[in-house]
Chain A
Amino acid sequence: MQTKVVLKKLTKAYGRRRLFADISVTIPGRSVFVLHGPNGAGKTTLLRIICGLVPATSGEVEITVDGKLLAREESREHIGLVSPELELYGELSAVENLEFFAGVRGLPFSPAKARDLLTFVGLAGRGRDLVGTYSSGMKQRLKYAYALLHEPQILVLDEPTSNLDETGVAVVAEIIRRQKDRGIVIMATNEPGEVSYGDQTLALGQPGTGHLVQGPAH
Chain B
Amino acid sequence: MPWVSRGLAIWCKDLRIEFRTRYAYSALLMFAFTTLVAVSFAVGGVVLDAGLAAALLWVILFFAAMAGLSRTFVQEEEAGTVTALKLAARPEPVFIGKYLFNVTLLFSLAVLVVPLFLVLIHQTVAYPFPFLAVVLLGVAGLAGASTIVAAIVARAGTRGPLMTVLAFPILLPLLLGAICGTRTCFAGERAVAADILFLFCYNGAALAVSLLLFPYVWDE
Chain A residues within 8 Å of B, Cβ to Cβ? 51, 53, 55, 72-73, 76, 79, 81, 83, 85-92, 96, 100-101, 103-106, 146
Secondary structure of the A side of the interface? loop
Please tell me if the beta carbons of B84 and A86 are within 8 angstroms of each other in the complex.
yes
What chain A residues lie within 8 Å of B81 (beta carbons)?
87-89
B6 lies within 8 A of chain A by Cβ: yes
What chain A residues lie within 8 Å of B88 (beta carbons)?
76, 101, 104-105
- Beyond the given A81-B83, A81-B84, A106-B2, please list 19 additional residue pairs across the A-B interface where CB-CB is below 8 A: A53-B87, A81-B87, A85-B80, A86-B83, A87-B81, A87-B83, A88-B81, A88-B84, A89-B17, A91-B17, A91-B20, A96-B13, A100-B10, A100-B13, A103-B8, A104-B89, A105-B6, A105-B89, A106-B6
Please tell me if the beta carbons of A104 and B10 are within 8 angstroms of each other in the complex.
yes
CB under 8 Å from chain A, chain B span 1-18:
2, 5-6, 8-10, 12-13, 16-17
Interface bin, chain B: 20 to 34
B220 lies within 8 A of chain A by Cβ: yes
Q: Which of A87, A100, A104 contacts B80 (CB 8 A)?
A: A87
Q: Which residue of A lies closest to B5 (CB)?
A: A106
With A104-B93, A106-B6 as given contacts, are A89 and B87 in contact (CB-CB < 8 Å)?
no
Secondary structure of the B side of the interface? helix
With A83-B83, A85-B83, A90-B79 as given contacts, are A103 and B9 in contact (CB-CB < 8 Å)?
yes
Please tell me if the beta carbons of B87 and A76 are within 8 angstroms of each other in the complex.
yes
For the complex formed, measure the closest distance between the CB of A218 and the CB atoms of chain B, giving whole angstroms.
Answer: 29
Q: Complex Cα distance A104/B91, Å? A: 11
11 contacts between A and B (CB under 8 A): A76-B86, A85-B83, A86-B83, A91-B16, A91-B21, A92-B13, A92-B17, A103-B12, A104-B9, A104-B85, A104-B93
What chain A residues lie within 8 Å of B90 (beta carbons)?
73
Q: Complex Cα distance A101/B90, Å? A: 12
Q: Complex Cα distance A176/B10, Å? A: 30
Please tell me if the beta carbons of A53 and B86 are within 8 angstroms of each other in the complex.
yes
Q: Which residue of A lies closest to B215 (CB)?
A: A73
What chain A residues lie within 8 Å of B10 (beta carbons)?
100, 104
Q: Complex Cα distance A101/B87, Å? A: 10
Q: Which residue of A lies closest to B10 (CB)?
A: A104
Q: Complex Cα distance A121/B87, Å? A: 21
Q: Complex Cα distance A87/B83, Å? A: 8
Q: Which residue of B lies closest to A83 (CB)?
A: B83
What chain B residues lie within 8 Å of A103 (beta carbons)?
5-6, 8-9, 12-13
